[in-house]
Structure 1
Amino acid sequence: MVSIAFNLQKSNRINFEKIYYYLILFLAFASPLSKALNSFNIILLSLVWLIEGDFRRKFKMIKSSNLLLCLMAFLILITISLTYSNLELSLGYFKKYCYLLLIIVIATSVKKEWIGSIITAFLCGMLITEIYALSPLVFDFESSIKTSKIDAQFFNPTMLSIQYSIFLAFCAIIIIEKIFNIKKLNYKTILMFMFLCTTLLNLFLSYSRTGQLIFFVLLIFWTIYRFKINYKAIIALAIALILIFVLAFNYVDNFKKVVKKTENEIALLKKGNFNSSNGIRIALNILSIEVIKDNPFFGVGLGDYEEEYKKLLKKDEFAYMSNIRGFIEKNSPHNQYTFIAMQVGLIGLMVFLLIIYECFRALRRIENEEQRTVFLFFILTFLIAFLTDNQLTGQTTRTLFIIFIGVFSVVSINHKDEKH
């Protein structure tokens, strides 16, 4: 008994605040570097949260945050959907959605004062992986770009991986915002500008149209956000967009291939041919909307959409999709909004959109202007990214979403009666 009491007394002396600080900092740093490190950090952070206890305080914090309550409601709907889902098909998706609980772990552990350091840690991780990705250019710059020696493959563990293009688009906007906030030209400006160059080079070397599209849209929004409707700013933006596009098209072979590929896919779609990357996405969303129409309120379950696709493809009205049937039957709609509506219905989608709405509401409680801008453009990044794929089921993008929503959720919590 004495031994147990001693151990409990010793655990009470553990500085959990410091442990959380370094764990969350390292999670942000490692997020672009390693999936294995991310998994390890998530497990470790969750264990520390459970060992700390103090669940009464944490529960009060959750109750005081509309954002976290909406998240809990969404996860409850996901759990309820298992009762009418094919468990064999659904448990994998259920496990992926359960990772969103880490948002609550981070939100009830982080401090507002840490936000700046966490953003910096993320940028440091990005810089390291970008330099690693571009290292072949140091030895053979011209031929590496022209012959695509640096290639963007699905399993490439660098920033050239298609999965990481969203990281790059978001990172570029953070850097642009930081450069904007530097009051006078100094070595920091030069270093940040060099960082921006490596980020954009990585982005346009990637075959991913998603990240490139997100960057262009974010740059337009950022210009309007910072300069309002200013003719000089609009002209400068137009020149910048044209310059970036022309340079990338003429000097980065991968980007040129992406543009040509998009042109070819548009030509195929005009002929009614869906046998292309974008064509298949459109076909999947057409079928998904039909599934939602038949199951509008609660959806068909987490994994049952595949069976619904097969039923629809047997109908004559979808005969034009016969040449891509094999691909469609094994894929999801590549649209987070449509996917959620299929899985848990329009009710589930509304709750998910409430989470996003509460994120926007939380913006007004962020006192630091630069941090407020970063969170705003983080939300916009994912609002666009959700249109292109199921980002919450992919490990890398889900981790990024969890970190920043979790960190910025702290401002949605009423700390009036809380000590943390």
Structure 2
Amino acid sequence: MKQTTLGSAEGKWPDLATVNSWLLVLLAFSFMISIAVGNILLTLILLLWLWEGKFHEKFQQVKHNPFAWAAVAFVGLHFLGLLWTSDWEFAAFVLKKEFKFLMVPVLMTVLKREHIPYYLLGFLLSMSLLVGISYGIYLELIPPYAIFGLETVQDPTPFVGHIVYNPVLAFTLYMILYVVFLSGELSWKFKALGLVLFVMMGINMFLTQGRMGQVVFLVLLSLFVFQYYRGKVLKPALVALLLVVTIAPAAYLFSPVVKDRVNLAVHEVQNYQQAPNSSMGLRVIMLLNSFQLIEENPLLGVGTGDYRQEYARVNQENFPEATRGEVLAHPHNVYVQEMVQFGVLGLLVLGYLFYVMLCLYQRSTSPFRPVMLAFPVFYFVIFFSDGYIMDHYLTFLFLLLGSILYVDQARLRD
């Protein structure tokens, strides 16, 4: 009887690298559904990666990749910031959130070329499932079960809140447009299916409450128009403008959710002193308090872990009635957050991350080249509205898609 060995071409079991790649497919499908499952899968991937060994070979795959090193530098900055930190408890909380970015070079060496369609398909199927459940809840065909993280149908975004759901949905919509129009030849049946899916997801976007998701959707839609009419300026500018001035007012007029959320945002910003604990009022106050911290510590910031205690101090001086902000982990703006923690140095490191993505996009010949531009544009926009650099779901999306888009194609495992 012929002997079989682990990883042999004729063996019964796949090798560790293949198992790890399939775990990454499962992660792509599940990270939007469950924080626990996402963390477990990411841990398993890391453990199998360590067990597999071949570290010299893996290092060769990423040693010349600036995106991988930019992610490492971002995490390294948080360790450096411990030197001028006094609140070690909160510093540990921050490091736990940001440590995941070290998985970028790991995932780049886990990726298999032939599995890339499955990673993306897993993510698309996951979002399709969430949109289907969202419609079921909205139409009251499915009760808002506790398993979905909902108690009412007021904001039907299953498993995640609208702050996460709508931005991820916006990028999913862009990916569908990319696949249908920019990725190459598709049969008319697949194009029709993609367009139906785009319409269904697009309508769902404006049935839920995520304002930033709706904004970044319009930004990505405009970017897609310019990519579709590549090499032209006037025509895509007019088409993009027409789409924006059509979709935005239509959403405001015909979606009660959009109308109420826009009106509420304007009212809360105008009356932030009278309603300091409202959603937008608190954002204004957090920015004002954070600007004072930046002014006090412009070069190196307050350190990795001192945001919470320093924010409480200035908030007590300026807006003592705004009590919610003192318990939040960030000022709801990633750029301000990095400057509060690390001053100008933090903004430079974050800017370098965007810089390397744009450099890799400019010299890329990858079929994913349009997405390589949409990806940093997406994060650049949403970083203005929340602490997405510390968010489980947007971090996992960054790890997954960033690794796929900016991996060195010549060194990708087969």
Same fold flag (TM > 0.5): yes
Match of 2:71 in 1: 71
Deviations 1:242-295 (A, max 9, x none): 4433443344322221122123234425x8875542232122122212212322
The answer to whether the aligner puts 1:27 opposite 2:30 as a matched pair is no
**Percent of residue pairs bearing the same amino acid type:** 24
1:414 to 1:349, Cα distance in 2 relative to 1, 3 A: farther
Paired AA for residue 76 in structure 1: G
Aligned length in residues: 396
**Equivalent of 2:309 in 292, 307, 310:** 307
The correspondence of residues 282-361 of structure 1 with structure 2, limited to 5 A, is 282-315=284-317, 318=318, 321-324=319-322, 326-331=323-328, 332-361=330-359
In structure 2, C-alpha distance between the alignment counterparts of 1:245 and 1:295, rounded to whole Å: 40
TM-score for both structures, normalised by structure 1: 0.84
Paired AA for residue 349 in structure 2: V
The correspondence of residues 52-67 of structure 1 with structure 2, limited to 5 A, is 52-67=52-67
Deviation, structure 1 residue 372: 1.4
Deviation, structure 1 residue 175: 1.4
The correspondence of residues 169-184 of structure 1 with structure 2, limited to 5 A, is 169-181=170-182
Equivalent residues of 1:302, 1:343 under 8 A apart: yes
- Give the SS at the match of 1:42: helix
Equivalent residues of 1:35, 1:395 under 8 A apart: yes
Equivalent residues of 2:303, 2:342 under 8 A apart: yes
Deviations 1:2-21 (A, max 9, x none): xxxxxxx8589862332232
Higher helix share: 1
Post-superposition, which runs of at least 4 consecutive aligned residues in structure 1 deviate over 4 A?
9-14, 137-141, 182-185, 228-232, 271-275
Deviations 1:55-75 (A, max 9, x none): 122233332222222222222
Deviations 1:345-399 (A, max 9, x none): 3223312221221111222454344x11123212111111111111121111111
Paired AA for residue 360 in structure 2: A
In structure 2, C-alpha distance between the alignment counterparts of 1:180 and 1:305, rounded to whole Å: 45
The correspondence of residues 6-405 of structure 1 with structure 2, limited to 5 A, is 15-85=15-85, 86-136=87-137, 150-152=153-155, 157-158=158-159, 161-181=162-182, 186-227=188-229, 230-268=233-271, 276-315=278-317, 318=318, 321-324=319-322, 326-331=323-328, 332-369=330-367, 371-405=368-402
Paired AA for residue 150 in structure 1: V
Equivalent residues of 2:82, 2:303 under 8 A apart: yes
In structure 1, C-alpha distance between the alignment counterparts of 2:187 and 2:110, rounded to whole Å: 37
TM-score for both structures, normalised by structure 2: 0.85
Paired AA for residue 237 in structure 1: A
1:217 to 1:23, Cα distance in 2 relative to 1, 3 A: same
In structure 2, C-alpha distance between the alignment counterparts of 1:29 and 1:297, rounded to whole Å: 41
Deviation, structure 1 residue 168: 0.6
Gaps of 5+ in 2: 143-150
RMSD of Structure 2 on Structure 1 (CA): 3.1
Deviations 1:182-205 (A, max 9, x none): 768822222112211221122212
Paired AA for residue 305 in structure 1: Y
* Bigger mean CA deviation after superposition, 68-77 or 274-283: 274-283
In structure 2, C-alpha distance between the alignment counterparts of 1:53 and 1:290, rounded to whole Å: 48
In structure 1, C-alpha distance between the alignment counterparts of 2:121 and 2:129, rounded to whole Å: 13
1:35 to 1:202, Cα distance in 2 relative to 1, 3 A: farther
- Which structure would you say has the larger RCO, counting Cα contacts within 8 Å and 6 or more residues apart? 1
Paired AA for residue 29 in structure 1: F
In structure 2, C-alpha distance between the alignment counterparts of 1:48 and 1:65, rounded to whole Å: 22
In structure 2, C-alpha distance between the alignment counterparts of 1:372 and 1:34, rounded to whole Å: 30
Paired AA for residue 346 in structure 2: G
- Give the SS at the match of 1:400: helix
1:407 to 1:137, Cα distance in 2 relative to 1, 3 A: same
- Give the SS at the match of 2:154: coil
In structure 2, C-alpha distance between the alignment counterparts of 1:374 and 1:357, rounded to whole Å: 15
Deviation, structure 1 residue 108: 1.8
